[in-house]
Amino acid sequence: MPFPRLLALKRPDTKVLVEARDIKGLIRLLDHGDFDTQWRAARALGTMGNDATSLLLRVLENPNINIRLGVIEALASIRDPAAIKGLQGILASDETSELRWAAALALGEIGHQTVTPALLSALRDDDRYVRYGAAKALEQVGWSAETDQDRAFYYIALQDWDAIKKLGKSATGPLIDRLKERHPAIRAQIIEILGSIGGVEPRRSCEQGLRDPDGDVRWRAVLSSSRCGVPTSQLPMGLSKRPRTGPSVFGATLLNFFFLGLGYDYLGKWWGLLILETYMTLIVLAQLELSPFMPFMTFMPFIIAYPVTAIFATQTFFMAKRESDLSV
Amino acid sequence: MVDLSALFGQKKADIKKLTAAKDISGLIRALHSSDMNTQSEAAKALGSLGPAAMDALIRALKKRGKVIRLVIIQALTEIRDPKSVPVLIETLKDESSEVRWEAAIALGEIGEPQAIEPLITCLRDHDKYVRLGAAFSLARIGWKPPNDEEKAFLFVGMQEWKAVQLIGNSAIPALTNILHDRHSNVRIRAIEILGELKSTQATPALIQSLADENSEVRWKAVLASPKCGIKLMHLPRGLSRRPKLKKNPLIAGFLNFMIPGVGYAYIGKWWGVMIYEVDIFATVWAFKFLGEEFTYWTLLPLDLLLALHAYYITTKMPEPSI
């Protein structure tokens, strides 16, 4: 007898809540542990009609991401134009990219002509999901590009690289703008296309690509640079200006001098901490032993230790230098 | 050519002598030799010794470590005795994927039709090497897949992606099967093809992949989903189920309160350990020279401050990107 009831507790029945028009209850279910229930609650909220919009818009400020995602989904299926302003706010400035993405898609679902400017600026978002969502939403509202620039951003958002190549020179500006992209694979792709377009600005971007933190992007930049007319003899010099992404050689040396072992830890050697522990324990023990001659003698262990750590620091210096030179 | 092996005369096993003496365990040891010739000679010699040697090999296959299991399977391949087939079939369930792979190859070389059924099961293995070995062995034995679904498993095993795509909807079970492959490249390949099939039957598999641990796999799943009829609007929630790597601020704060510095180490700051060391150092020092009570009253507020700081910077840490 109690068994089915337990099951019912685990998987709440959205139908009952829908019949009772218990919007708050449904909203609570949006953060349910069971994914399926979340989804059914979002769908049920979508059938509540325009009356629910104002309450849903208020919940949009909720700190819980699952609830906000569900509310955005519901607003997308209610399609009340009153929700546009709130969704545009999320799209423009929310820091969670998932929510911006969902907001872009929802604006496309509502499908009002006024949403186009917001979606166009979302095409320039830093997150690829948001850009992709904005491009798809623009398709949905029946938008067609008026300027070459918008068209270029649209294709970049869809990652339709062939179409961008066909745009030629007019894509240069948007492509350069997107070089700040977080994903190295996308930066590498952009550099390659810029190389095939050629010209003054792409050439500058290729030179900038030589200093990219990612090895693959630098390599593509080398290949593209020669096509853009950067003299081959300048390439090694350009590469040498890249940021050292690895650990600093001097940092490791200094750390090992003052805290023997921590420098190794900083360089990514797991046994660094082992050495650090041993070293510190020895120092503390020595200090306690010498404590009758306090306070001057507290420093005695260090006076003995520093020449020793200096030797290790020297070794660390050469080790770190060798490791940082390994990859171009 | 100078025969260098003369220099290592003591080490090189004399297969003829061992064979003459019927020294089976000596021959099995010779299988270990790094010299390919010695290995295959030893295998052939074991084959010529008949059932007794066979029993010894099979017994060793059940007991010994991974490397010797591989060598013995190689020897069994060389001997090509159909009697070894049942034990090789058993080895297809070995815990080591290398051994499973080797056994699948051996069964193909021996070419007994009774191996077909177990090899078909191996096409569903979670390791791509085992799948490859099983697929080629089945082709070698001359197995013809009875239907499109089995054909898809065969082509997925051979990584013939174009052929898989041509099969159409019947390939969905085979593609779904490899969505748990350890290599993200394989998962990406499967998702791309599922997208190209443009079928609603692929929907459950794609929804599952939206929560993949690898960000590239998730991105490909997002691109493929609309093609298979998943509404775009459902995608953000699908991705919200992905494994989160964000650290818990409460744990960071608590750790920093109990053991100052370890909270920082927990959220991935390498200098956390340094603070931990300094804290231990200072505590011992203060205990000794300033007295116990004084130490507690100084350290307590300090620890609280460090705990609050670790809590604060953890909450401020950005959510890992989609």
Would the CB atoms of B233 and A76 count as touching at under 8 Å?
A: yes
CA atoms of A326 and A209, how far apart (whole Å)? 20
Task: Tell me which residues of chain A, numbers 165 to 204, contact chain B at a CB-CB cutoff of 8 Å.
Answer: 182
CA atoms of B111 and B90, how far apart (whole Å)? 16
Go through chain B and tell me how many residues it has: 322
- CA-to-CA separations, A287 to A160, B66, B276, in angstroms, rounded: 67, 52, 18
Torsion of CA B276, B282, B285, B291, to 10 degrees: -110
The reported pLDDT for the residue numbered A84 is: 92
Q: Could you tell me if B46 and B24 are in contact, meaning their C-beta atoms sit under 8 angstroms apart?
A: yes
* Max CA separation in chain B (angstroms): 85
Give B146's DSSP letter.
Answer: S
Q: Output B23-28 pairs: Cβ under 8 A, ≥24 positions apart.
A: B24/B49, B24/B52, B24/B53, B24/B56, B25/B56, B27/B53, B28/B56, B28/B57, B28/B60, B28/B68, B28/B72
Closest Cα in chain A to B319: A96
SS3 B96: coil
pLDDT at B107 over 90: yes
| A70, A280, A288: residue with CB nearest B277 | A280
Q: Which two tokens stand for residue B225?
A: 């989903």
Of B119, B114, B117, the residue nearest B135 (C-alpha): B119
Of A60, A75, A72, the residue nearest B237 (C-alpha): A72
Size of interface A-B (CB pairs under 8 A): 83
Ramachandran angles phi, psi of A261, nearest 5° = 110, -35
- Please indicate if any CB of chain B lies within 8 Å of the CB of A265: yes
Burial class (CB in 10 A: 0-12, 13-18, 19+), B255: buried
- Please indicate if any CB of chain B lies within 8 Å of the CB of A3: no
Q: Determine what percent of chain A falls in helix, strand and coil, rounding each to the nearest 5.
A: 75, 0, 25
Of A102, A125, A112, A116, the residue nearest A144 (C-alpha): A116
Query: Which residues are within 8 A (CB) of B284 and not within 5 positions of it... i.e. 6 or more apart?
Result: A284, A287, A288
The reported pLDDT for the residue numbered A324 is: 67
Shortest distance between the Cα of A282 and any Cα of chain B, in A, equals: 11
**Which residues of B lie closer than 8 Å to A, measured between beta carbons?**
219, 222-223, 226, 232-237, 239-241, 270, 273-274, 277, 280-281, 284-285, 288-289, 318-319, 321-322
Which residues in chain B have their CB less than 8 angstroms from residue A284's CB? 280-281, 284
Give residue-wise pLDDT tens across range A74-118. Answer: 999 999 889 999 999 999 988 888 899 999 999 999 988 889 999
**What string of pLDDT tens digits covers the 328 residues of chain A?**
344 444 555 567 777 887 778 888 888 888 887 778 888 888 888 888 888 888 888 888 888 888 899 999 999 999 988 999 999 999 998 888 889 999 999 999 998 888 999 999 999 999 999 999 999 999 999 898 889 899 999 999 999 999 999 988 889 999 999 998 888 889 999 999 998 888 888 888 888 888 888 888 888 998 888 888 888 888 887 777 777 667 788 889 999 998 899 899 888 888 988 899 899 888 888 877 876 666 666 677 888 899 999 999 999 999 888 876 655 5
pTM higher than 0.80: no
CA atoms of B225 and B202, how far apart (whole Å)? 9
- Please indicate if any CB of chain B lies within 8 Å of the CB of A120: no
CA atoms of A248 and A183, how far apart (whole Å)? 24
CA atoms of A19 and B150, how far apart (whole Å)? 47
Would the CB atoms of A72 and B226 count as touching at under 8 Å?
A: no
Ramachandran angles phi, psi of B103, nearest 5° = -65, -40
Ramachandran angles phi, psi of A241, nearest 5° = -90, 0
SS (H, E, C) A11-46: CCCHHHHHHCCCHHHHHHHCCCCCHHHHHHHHHHHH
Give residue-wise pLDDT tens across range B237-286. Answer: 888 888 776 788 899 999 999 889 989 988 888 888 888 888 887 888 78
